Amino acid sequence: MNAMTPVTAEGTLFVVAAPSGAGKSTLVNALLEREPTISLSISHTTRPPRPGEQYGRHYYFVERQAFEREIADGVFLEHAEVHGNLYGTSRTTVDELLGQGRDVLLEIDWQGARQIRKSKPDCVSVFILPPSRTELERRLRGRGLDSAEVIARRLHNSREEIAHAHEFDYIIVNDDFDVALGDLQAIVRAVRQRSSLQWQRHETLIAELLA
């Protein structure tokens, strides 16, 4: 390849998972403000919209029958049923963004993360833990979004979710938000400095230095 030919290294796929109430979405949104070059993949879901949520901005809200057809058609890179609702990530959208050299972040559950690691083993996965079960329950109740029954189900399911945290590359305890956000950003920045990526991105510079 000509030394002056620009090289576009494929982007990195970041996967962030957590039990409900651990503060995953708040951390991810804050990370995206600090790192605007990361693209957040918008998931499809059969869950009804919560107050303030918009189609195409927070989720693509679809009927279960349509979602199941998309599963059969191989639309999703990963999909899972979480708390009685289906969630999935568009394969085409993620592959196109990565091919353009953009880093992509998926905010999904441990089941989806497991599927992603099988199909894209070079992804970087992060699991967010709450500092305690008491705090996890306090956060769930404090959101004021779910019924007592839904909160009880989320708390129950959190045990199984947390049991899979060891499968992830990194674990962050979201006790102090600023510290947790700093840890998440540090992971992103460290990954971006990996020699395999830097060698591709700075091929012209390296060729000149070796000339």
**Boundaries of every domain in the chain:** 13-41+103-210
**What is the pTM assigned to this prediction?**
0.85
46-91: per-residue pLDDT in tens?
999 988 899 988 899 999 999 999 999 999 999 989 888 999 999 9
116-156: per-residue pLDDT in tens?
999 999 999 999 999 999 999 999 998 877 788 989 999 99
CB under 8 Å to 176, separation ≥6 — which residues?
Answer: none
What is the average pLDDT value for the chain, to the nearest integer? 91
Convert 52-77 into a string of H (helix), E (strand) and C (coil). Answer: CCCECCCEEECCHHHHHHHHHCCCEE
Read off the pLDDT of each residue in 16-39 and give the average, rounded to a whole number. 95
Asked: is 13-41+103-210 a CATH 1.20.1440.130 domain? The reply is no
- Whether the Cβ atoms of residue 91 and residue 71 lie closer than 8 Å to each other: no
Give the distance from CA 204 to its chain's centroid: 32
**Measured between alpha carbons, how far is 100 from 13 in angstroms, rounded to an integer?**
12
